[in-house]
């Protein structure tokens, strides 16, 4: 795991069963607090059996700034999604405008030095629905040389 200073600046929160409903409720409350009415948000977290909240935990460090610690936590989510996919699970990383909302932060018990990077939605893959090959990436558009 790429982790400058071996700070382990992440933690995961699993949400199963009725905890997903509580997340839906907090999303509705967060949207209402911003003047948006969206009752669909209540059931969205129940689309997968398991949600894994990815939390970046900023540790005190003179040499590793917060953005590097966020990058490490994002790396954990990325690696985990690849491993789950490899093991046959369907995985989707979802974020959205409410990851920083106080209602959502409170539900996850986030402290001041913690930031929610979204949730990995994990579930089964119905027959015939697994993605096919991705569109090829042109490496020339992403690589230059000095
Ligand atoms: C940080 C992050 C947040 C994401 N949030 C959402 C989201 O809120 N809604 C969504 O439909 N997909 C979300 N995705 C999924 C991406 O849009 C995309 O489907 C996924 O990364 C797979 O990309 P690929 O098809 O190029 O492999 C998110 C991905 C990342 C990395």
Nearest Cα residue to atom 29 of ligand 1? 93
Ligand 1 pocket check for 45: Cβ under 6 Å: no
Q: What was the pLDDT predicted at 106? A: 98
Q: How many CB atoms lie within 10 A of CB 88?
A: 9
Q: What was the pLDDT predicted at 61? A: 98
Q: What was the pLDDT predicted at 103? A: 97
Q: What residues in the chain have per-residue pLDDT under 50?
A: none
What residue ranges define each of the domains in the chain, with the CATH number in brackets? Answer: 4-16+48-125 (3.40.109.10)
Ligand 1 pocket check for 96: Cβ under 6 Å: yes
pTM above 0.85, yes or no: yes
Q: What was the pLDDT predicted at 134? A: 84
Ligand 1 pocket check for 94: Cβ under 6 Å: yes
Q: What was the pLDDT predicted at 141? A: 95
Q: What was the pLDDT predicted at 116? A: 98
Nearest Cα residue to atom 5 of ligand 1? 94
Question: What's the 95 CA to ligand 1 centre distance in angstroms?
Answer: 8
């Amino acid at each position: 795991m790429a982790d400058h200073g071996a700070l382990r600046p992440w933690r995961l929160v699993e949400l199963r069963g009725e905890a997903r409903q509580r997340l839906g409720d907090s999303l509705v409350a967060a949207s209402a607090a911003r003047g948006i009415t969206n009752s669909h948000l209540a059931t969205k977290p129940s689309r997968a059996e398991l949600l894994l909240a990815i939390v970046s935990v900023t540790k005190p460090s003179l040499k590793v700034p917060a953005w590097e610690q966020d990058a490490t936590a994002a790396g954990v989510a990325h690696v985990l999604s690849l491993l789950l996919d490899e093991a046959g699970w369907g995985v989707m990383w979802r974020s959205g405008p409410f990851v920083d909302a106080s209602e959502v932060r409170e539900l996850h018990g986030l402290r001041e030095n913690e930031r929610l990077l979204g949730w990995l939605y994990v579930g089964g893959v119905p027959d015939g629905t697994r993605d096919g090959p991705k569109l090829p990436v042109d490496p020339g558009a992403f690589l230059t040389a000095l």
